[in-house]
Structure 1
């Protein structure tokens, strides 16, 4: 559909364009003609082409009975469409994705009196590394541009938009990611320092936060398992074996026991300090292995950071 771009882009300014009322022109412009397209069918094309913007303004004031501000807004939108050069980055939204392009100021009047200008190359819905620019991965400030009631407007988040297309992270995002990495390192140390009973309780709380219900009391179940769980919505049953330390030999011992327990749907083997033989094991069993980093992530995602701090302070 669109060619992968590998060169970092630069733009003098960033403009949002709504391709037709209710997106009427989107499919044609993006998937077929590779153009920008503007309505304003009743506005004289020759006036715009010759830069007679004072007369265009008068048209809106006199023929459309627009206020001074509204007439100026319409005139400016047309002026940008007709005159912006190839250094302007054009953005729009289509099929829940951000699309971008540069365009040549070669304006053509179509038979229905809409106006078009060609895209340089193709519209793209990917960053320069070929990754889709999904709306769900964009900031709310940029997405709000879709709600602009006119046709063309300057993008307030232009720096952010260019960074997303260039697959560059904001300085603040990099700093936050570094802080999160440091947090996980420290949290992992705290989890390993938990008393055994508290570690079992932490794993119990993690599974309960995920919607599982405990069927048996922690530490008082069969010798083969520490937690017996039930998923109330699906009716699935699971067992969880919890270890502070474990190696591959011990895991395989439990795995053999799990294989005989046909009344259960899922098996979890949770270890905060796995020996090298286990941590490097290529797991081809149905049992899910949760080690230190995974436990740390689950602790944060389950909102249990404060719980761990209180248990270790």
Structure 2
């Protein structure tokens, strides 16, 4: 997006930041343009612009009461219009588009544009990442927040404001923070148990991890091929990979297996898995490394903690 900047350079949003959801046009008609240009477009085209600039919100409500015929509806209209005109740089607007939550800070006065729609600029465009650059993917956000997009009007306050600000600021909820601390301890304990396994049980553990994610073994574990402990197939894509498993290893040993992998085209990917030792090599698109940091995480994600406890007991 032309108006996006490096969010990693920004300061965190204060906890008293006001947050509003805005629907950018009927059925999102203006979404792409606004997100690209870093602007906010707003309807209510009939609203007297000069009345809004004067802050005559009683007059605006009276105007819409004539149009709507209902006091409550006119009051709601006036509230949304006032928010669009008066929200400042200490506020944020959010919207949802393309699988992401987007947010921006409004700035400047509202202006009348084509078809009497209203336009406001933003501080530095719309963003779909947190302050630290983490993508704000809708599927990874709380449903309590994402249900805001079902609002039938144009602008409303975000009920889950505290949660929203924490996500933008990369701050976990207190409950998540406690859980993350506990998980760090648990992973260390898992690694200690993994290191108690004999090589055959470690190979079996790795095989179970891959099986849980859909990979199918094509040859028996620990076969006679010197560079392959597991020959795997992912049925959904037809991708083939081989896995080399070592209880203890080194960078030099890894390089010998990596060379063998690069010298053949029989497999699209290589996994190198170990629990003790250091391999100071950056992974590539074709070569994945699972070492002491990754293996405990995989055990948890595969639901194999009980299996591991039984084996390590």
TM-score by length of 1: 0.77
**Distance change (3 Å), C-alpha of 1:94 and 1:241:** closer
* Equivalent residue, structure 2, for 1:45: 49
* Equivalent residue, structure 2, for 1:26: 31
Q: Distance in 2 between matches of 1:253 and 1:111?
A: 66
* Equivalent residue, structure 1, for 2:302: 302
Q: Distance in 2 between matches of 1:298 and 1:76?
A: 50
1:190 aligns with 2:193: yes
**Distance change (3 Å), C-alpha of 1:70 and 1:242:** same
**Distance change (3 Å), C-alpha of 1:145 and 1:255:** closer
1:58-73 maps to which residues of 2 (within 5 A)? 58-66=62-70, 68-73=71-76
Q: Cα RMSD between the aligned structures?
A: 3.6
Q: Distance in 2 between matches of 1:204 and 1:83?
A: 60
Structure 1 residue 298: Cα displacement: 2.0
Structure 1 residue 55: Cα displacement: 4.3
1:92 touches 1:100 (CA, 8 Å); kept in 2? Answer: no
Q: Deviations over 1:69-108 (max 9, x none)?
A: 323211211222234444333333345341211323x333
Q: SS state of the match for residue 303, structure 1?
A: coil
Moved more, 221-230 or 143-152: 221-230
Q: SS state of the match for residue 242, structure 1?
A: strand
**Please, which of 92, 98, 103 is the counterpart of residue 107 of structure 2?**
103
**Please, which of 198, 217, 222 is the counterpart of residue 224 of structure 2?**
222
1:266-285 maps to which residues of 2 (within 5 A)? 267-274=270-277, 276=278, 279-280=279-280
**Distance change (3 Å), C-alpha of 1:233 and 1:152:** closer
1:98 touches 1:135 (CA, 8 Å); kept in 2? Answer: no
**Please, which of 133, 143, 148 is the counterpart of residue 145 of structure 1?**
148
* Equivalent residue, structure 2, for 1:113: 116
Q: SS state of the match for residue 292, structure 1?
A: coil
Q: SS state of the match for residue 193, structure 1?
A: coil
Larger radius of gyration: 1
Q: Distance in 2 between matches of 1:260 and 1:122?
A: 49
Q: SS state of the match for residue 206, structure 1?
A: helix
Pairs aligned (count): 304
TM-score by length of 2: 0.77
Identify unmatched segments of 5+ residues in structure 2: none
